[in-house]
Chain A
Amino acid sequence: MSFLRLEGLSKCFGNFVAVNDVNLDVEKGEFVSLLGPSGCGKTTTLQMIGGFVTPTEGKIFINGQDITGVRPNKRNLGIVFQSYALFHHMTIHDNVAFGLEMRNIEKVERDARVHETLSLVHLEDFAHRFPRELSGGQQQRVALARALVIRPEVLLLDEPLSALDAKIREDMRIELRAIQRTVGTTTILVTHDQSEAMAMSDRIAVMNNGELVQVDRPHTAYEYPGDSFVTEFLGKSNMFAGIVKDVSDGITAVDVAGVTVLARSKQFEVEAAVNVSIRPEKIKFTGQSKGLVEGAINARIFLGNQWVFQLDTPMGEFVVVSQNTGHEEAEEGHKAGLDWSAQDMRILPRETD
C-alpha cells in the first residue's frame, strides 16, 4: 500500500458536491501537486487530509493507518497555510518550537532542532525576531520551518507561494523543492498555478469540478493531456473543434473548418466529434503558401526571451510562440504559412451538447 492513500474521498456541503470520489496514491517521499482552478475542490481535499473538514464519504490512510476520524492535533502533519498563520505574539524561535513543545520534547533537544530547521531555511539569525519584522518570503520560510520541525508524516502546502511577489515566488519554488528533497517528507501541494505545480512536483493531480481528472508526471501531463480541460489548464494551446474523417495506419485525419489536420492517434472512430490541439511552441513559420495552413499576423508581442504571434487562419485563431534568436521576426499584417509535425498534434474527445 502506498504511503498516503485517499480512497473514494467525497465532501458535500448541502447539495453542493465539493469533492467527488477522489482516489489518490502517494508514495513515501513523493511530491504531488493538487492543481486546479478555484472552487475545484483542491483546498477541501487538503483540509480533509489535515482533519479540518470531515469527509462525507471515503477514507484517508497514512502509512497503512486509517486516519479519517483522527483529530487534527493527533495526525502529525505539517501544514503551511496560505496566509502562513504565524503566531504573531511569539518570536520566530517560539513559533518553530511550539510543535515540539506540544510533543513534550526536552528544552535542549527542542532548541537544537529549532536551530537545525531554521538553518535549513536560512533563518538561523532571525530566531529572536517577531514575525512582523520579517519580509513575506522570510515569514513563508518560518511557516515551512514550523511545519517541518515536528518531522511530520506528510507535509501539506496550501498555496504557499501565492502571497509572494513574482520574483521571490520563483526563487522560493526552487528552494522549497530543494528543501523537500533534503528532508524527504511526502508532500502535497495545493495550487492553482500550473507553472508552480510543474516546476516543483513529481506528479501533478489535476482537479476540476471536485473530481480528479488526470494524475501524471508534469512532462507527461503537459505533452499528453487526457482531455480538453487539462490541455487548456496546463499551459497554452491552440484548440479547434473538428470531425474525424479518416483513420488509417495510426494516423487520424480530422476536418477543421475545411482544413484537414493529421495526428497520430487511433482511439477515435470516423465521424467522431473531437478537438484537435497543438502547443504554441510546436508550430513553425514557413514561407507563404508552403505550410499546412496560412494566416495573417494580426498581433505580435515581444517578451524578451520569446515572441508571441496571433494569426487569423481558416481554422481559427492561432497563437504561435517562437524563441527570440536575435533578429526581428515576421511583422504584423504579413501573411505566413504555419507548419507542424503530426506527432505534436493531439486529438481529444469533445463533448457535444
Chain B
Amino acid sequence: MAHQSNYKNNARPYLLSSPALLFYVGLFMIPLIMTFMLSFYSFDINRGGILPGFSLANYAEVLADSYFHRIFIRTFLLSILVTFFCVLLGTPEAYILHRMSSRWKSLCMLAILGPLLVSVVVRTLGWAILIGSDGIINRTLLAIGLIDAPVKLMFTMTGLVIALVHVLIPFMVLSVWASLQKLDSMVESAGQSLGATPFIVLRRIVIPQIMPGVLSGSLIVFALTASAFATPSILGGRRLKVVATTAYDEYLGTLNWPLGAAIAVLLLIANVIIITGYNKFIEYKYAQAFK
C-alpha cells in the first residue's frame, strides 16, 4: 500500500508536467533541431533548391562576408545602445515609481505596463507615423521653427533605438522594481542618520543594492533587442538590416533556407554566449552579498 502510494507520488510530477513538456518539445525543440540541421544543407537554384547533405559552407559564407559582418555588428551595437538607454531611463523610472504614494504608484505602473498589452507591430507602426519625415514630430518641430528640414528618423539607427527603448523599457522597469521591493526601506534613513546626503545615499547605498536588478533587466533587454524582428523590419526595413530581418529575407526573399538557418543559428549562439557570460559575471560579482 505504502509502496503503491510512493510510486504514485514519484510519477505524479512527470505526469502533471507532461503536457507542457510535449508542447515544449514539439513546438520548440524539434523546430530548433530542424533549423540546426537545415543550416548544414546546401542550396543551388539550378539543381532544384535545397539539397540535403552536410557542409559548413553556409557558416563559412556568413563568417567570411563583410556584408554579414556589418549586419552582426549593427545588431550588437543596436542591442548595446538600447540596453544603455533602458538602464539610463528605466532605473530612475523604477526608483521614482517605488517612492510614489500607493495610489499614484498603481496608476503609473499601469501606464508603464499598458503598452505591453498592445502588439509590438501596432506600437511600431505608431512610431512610424510619429517619426516619419512627414510625421507628427517633424511637422511640430518645423512649425515651431526648431528645425529647417525634417529630421531623418525613419530607417535610421536613432529612430530604431527610440522605438526599441520604448518597446523594451517595461522589462527594465519591472526588473529594477523587483529588486527595489527587496530593499529595506529603512536603509535610506540609516544612511542619512550616519551623515550621508540623499545623493550619497542613492549612489553608495541604493544603487549598489539594486544593481542585480539593473543587470538582469539589461540582460533581458539585450537578448530581446538582439533577436527583435518586428520593430527593425518596420522602422529599419531593407536599408537597416539586423540579423533577424536578414535571416527572414534569406528564407522568404532569396528562398535560401539553409543560409537563413545558419544565420539564425549563429545569432542564437552569439546570444547564448553573451548572456551566459554576462550571467556568470553577475553571479561572480554578487555571489557573496546577495543570493
Interface residues of A (CB under 8 A from B): 50-52, 71-79, 81-83, 85-90, 98-99, 102-103, 130, 132-133, 146-147, 150
Q: How far is the CA of A216 from the CA of B49 in the complex (A)?
A: 97
Considering the complex, give the chain A residue whose CB is closest to the CB of B195.
Answer: A102
Indicate whether A81 sits within 8 Å of B289 (C-beta atoms), given known contacts A88-B209, A89-B209. Answer: no
Contact between chains at B190 and A79 (CB < 8 Å): yes
B192 contacts the other chain (CB 8 A): yes
Considering the complex, give the chain B residue whose CB is closest to the CB of A50.
Answer: B193
Query: Can you list 22 contacts pairing A with B, beta carbon distance less than 8 Å?
Result: A72-B192, A73-B193, A74-B195, A75-B193, A76-B195, A79-B189, A79-B193, A81-B189, A83-B184, A85-B184, A85-B186, A85-B190, A86-B187, A87-B205, A87-B209, A89-B289, A98-B194, A99-B194, A132-B289, A146-B190, A147-B193, A150-B195
B291 contacts the other chain (CB 8 A): yes
Contact between chains at B195 and A52 (CB < 8 Å): no
B282 contacts the other chain (CB 8 A): no
- Give the distance to chain A from B70, nearest Cβ to Cβ, in Å: 41
Given A52, A74, A88, A103, which contacts B189 in the complex, CB threshold below 8 Å?
A52
Contact between chains at A77 and B208 (CB < 8 Å): no
Contact between chains at A102 and B187 (CB < 8 Å): no
- Give the distance to chain A from B283, nearest Cβ to Cβ, in Å: 15
B290 contacts the other chain (CB 8 A): yes
Chain B interface category by residue count: 20 to 34
Among A71, A74, A88, the one with the most B-chain Cβ atoms within 10 Å of its Cβ is A88
Contacts of B291 in A (CB 8 A): 132
Given A50, A77, A82, A88, which contacts B289 in the complex, CB threshold below 8 Å?
A88
- Give the distance to chain A from B77, nearest Cβ to Cβ, in Å: 31
Considering the complex, give the chain B residue whose CB is closest to the CB of A75.
Answer: B193
Q: How far is the CA of A146 from the CA of B195 in the complex (A)?
A: 12
Indicate whether A98 sits within 8 Å of B193 (C-beta atoms), given known contacts A83-B184, A89-B208, A132-B291. Answer: no
Contacts of B279 in A (CB 8 A): none
Considering the complex, give the chain A residue whose CB is closest to the CB of B210.
Answer: A89
Name the 3 nearest CB pairs between A and B, nearest first. A102-B195, A99-B194, A85-B186
Q: How far is the CA of A75 from the CA of B194 in the complex (A)?
A: 9
Contact between chains at A102 and B209 (CB < 8 Å): no
Considering the complex, give the chain A residue whose CB is closest to the CB of B201.
Answer: A73
Indicate whether A81 sits within 8 Å of B197 (C-beta atoms), given known contacts A89-B289, A130-B289, A132-B289. Answer: no
Residues of B176-203 contacting chain A, CB below 8 A: 184, 186-187, 189-197, 200
Main secondary structure of the interface of B (DSSP, over half): helix
- Give the distance to chain B from A73, nearest Cβ to Cβ, in Å: 5
Contacts of B211 in A (CB 8 A): 89
Q: How far is the CA of A72 from the CA of B192 in the complex (A)?
A: 6
Apart from A74-B195, A76-B195, A81-B190, what 8 extra A-B contacts exist at CB < 8 Å? A50-B189, A71-B192, A72-B192, A73-B193, A81-B189, A88-B290, A99-B194, A102-B200
Q: How far is the CA of A98 from the CA of B203 in the complex (A)?
A: 13
Given A52, A130, A150, which contacts B194 in the complex, CB threshold below 8 Å?
A150
Considering the complex, give the chain B residue whose CB is closest to the CB of A94.
Answer: B204
Contact between chains at B193 and A77 (CB < 8 Å): yes
Contacts of A87 in B (CB 8 A): 187, 190-191, 205, 209
B9 contacts the other chain (CB 8 A): no
Contacts of B17 in A (CB 8 A): none
Q: How far is the CA of A52 from the CA of B190 in the complex (A)?
A: 10
Contacts of B66 in A (CB 8 A): none
Among B186, B197, B286, B290, the one with the most A-chain Cβ atoms within 10 Å of its Cβ is B186
Contacts of A51 in B (CB 8 A): 192-193
Considering the complex, give the chain A residue whose CB is closest to the CB of B205.
Answer: A87
B4 contacts the other chain (CB 8 A): no
- Give the distance to chain B from A74, nearest Cβ to Cβ, in Å: 8
Contact between chains at A83 and B209 (CB < 8 Å): no
Contact between chains at B186 and A82 (CB < 8 Å): yes
Considering the complex, give the chain A residue whose CB is closest to the CB of B198.
Answer: A73
- Give the distance to chain A from B103, nearest Cβ to Cβ, in Å: 15
Among A52, A71, A87, the one with the most B-chain Cβ atoms within 10 Å of its Cβ is A87
Contact between chains at A102 and B189 (CB < 8 Å): no
Q: How far is the CA of A133 from the CA of B196 in the complex (A)?
A: 25
Given B187, B196, B286, which contacts A85 in the complex, CB threshold below 8 Å?
B187
B102 contacts the other chain (CB 8 A): no
Given B195, B288, B290, which contacts A73 in the complex, CB threshold below 8 Å?
B195
Contacts of B208 in A (CB 8 A): 89
- Give the distance to chain B from A123, nearest Cβ to Cβ, in Å: 17
Considering the complex, give the chain A residue whose CB is closest to the CB of B186.
Answer: A85
Q: How far is the CA of A83 from the CA of B290 in the complex (A)?
A: 17
- Give the distance to chain A from B197, nearest Cβ to Cβ, in Å: 6
Contacts of A83 in B (CB 8 A): 184, 186
Contacts of B288 in A (CB 8 A): 130, 132-133
Contacts of B190 in A (CB 8 A): 79, 81, 85-87, 146
Contact between chains at A102 and B196 (CB < 8 Å): yes
